[in-house]
Amino acid sequence: MSLIYKSLQKIKKQELKRNKSPVGIMPSPPQVIGKLLWTVLFIVLILGAGLLWTSIQVRLPQPKISALSEKKSVQKRVSQKSVPNLNSKASVTRKENSVIPVTYSGVKVKKLRPKPKKKLNPLQKQYTNAYQELKQHFLKQAKKNQQIALLNQELQKSFLENDKKAVKRNLKKLSQILGKDSFLVQKWKGIIALQDKDYTLAEKYFQKAISQNSKDVNCRINYIYALLGQKKIELARQEAQRLWQDFPDNSKVQDLVLRISNL
C-alpha cells in the first residue's frame, strides 16, 4: 500500500510540475471596498471642480453704478433728444388720423388723436335728417299707442264696474290723444249711449265708427242692438244679413241672426 501511495504522489508531483501556472492572489474584501471609495471620491472631486470652473466663467460681472453717475447718464440721454413743447403748435406736425409722438423725459408716448367727423354732402344730410325724423315719429307713435292701450283697458274696467265718473274721465283723456271723431272714441260713446238706453244717439255714434272701420264685429253688433232698441227690425235684419255674410263663422253673429229671424 505504501508503494502505491508513494507512486501516486510522484505522479501527482510530476503533473503539477508539468502544468504549473502562476495563480494571482485574491485581495481581501476590505481592500476592494477601500479602493472603490477612493475612486468614487476622486471622480466627485473632478466633477465638482469642473462645475465650479464653469459657473465662474459663465457669471458676468455686474459693476455697481452710483446714483450720481446714473443720474448723469439719464440727463445726457435726455439732452440728446428734443423735448417738444406741448402748448406750441409748431413743435408737433399734426396730420389727420395720425399718431402724435409726445416725449416725456426721454420716454416716447403715442397719443391718439380723435378722428374728425366726416363732412356729409347735401344728399347725405337730407337722408340723415329724414331718418332721424322717421325715428322720432315712430318713437312718439309707439308711446302714443301704449297710452291708448292703457286707457282702453281702464275704460273696459271702469265700464264693467259701472263707474261712470271713471268712464267719462278716461274717455276724455282718450279723446284728447286720438281726437273726438276717432273710431275708438266714437265706439265708446256709442257703448255708453247704448247702456244709457239712448238708442238714437248710440246709432249715430256707431254709424260714424263703422264708417271708419267696418271690420270691427262688436261695433256692428252694437249698432244692430241700437236699431232694435228703436224698433227698426227690418233695418236690423238687413244689417244682420250683411254682418253674417262678412263673418259667417263668428258665433256671436250667428246667435244674433237667429234671434232677429225669430222676431
Long-range contacts (CB closer than 8 Å, 24 or more residues apart) made by 179-188: 181/208, 182/212, 183/209, 183/212, 183/213, 183/216, 184/148, 184/152, 186/212, 187/216, 187/219, 188/155
The values of phi and psi at residue 172, to 5°, are -65, -45
pLDDT of residue 96: 46
The values of phi and psi at residue 107, to 5°, are -110, 125
CA distance 184 to 167: 14
Which domain range does residue 205 map to? Answer: 199-263
CB of 233 within 8 A of CB of 260? yes
CB of 222 within 8 A of CB of 236? no
Say if 255 falls within a structural domain. Answer: yes
The values of phi and psi at residue 198, to 5°, are -95, 80
pLDDT of residue 194: 92
Instruction: Give how far the C-alpha of residue 259 lies from the chain's centroid of Cα atoms, to the nearest Å.
Output: 60
CB of 203 within 8 A of CB of 219? no
Say if 249 falls within a structural domain. Answer: yes
Number of domains in the chain: 1
CA distance 157 to 62: 91
Say if 223 falls within a structural domain. Answer: yes
CB of 191 within 8 A of CB of 226? no
pLDDT of residue 35: 76
pTM: 0.50
With bands split at pLDDT 50, 70 and 90, how would you rate the model's confidence at 83? very low
83's grid cell: 423735448
Say if 225 falls within a structural domain. Answer: yes
Whether 218 has a pLDDT exceeding 70, the answer reads yes
The values of phi and psi at residue 216, to 5°, are -85, 110
Say if 110 falls within a structural domain. Answer: no
Whether 167 has a pLDDT exceeding 70, the answer reads yes
pLDDT of residue 75: 60
Tell me the per-residue pLDDT of 111-162, one tens digit each, with 9 for 90 and over: 667 766 667 677 666 667 777 778 788 888 888 888 888 888 888 888 888 8
Residues 72-88, mean pLDDT to the nearest whole number: 52
Say if 216 falls within a structural domain. Answer: yes
pLDDT of residue 97: 47
Q: Which residues contact 62 (CB under 8 A, 6 or more apart)?
A: none
CA distance 8 to 35: 45
Say if 47 falls within a structural domain. Answer: no
CA distances from 195 to 47, 132, 155, 225, 257 (A): 115, 46, 14, 11, 21
Which has the closest alpha carbon to 74: 94, 104, 101? Answer: 104
Say if 207 falls within a structural domain. Answer: yes
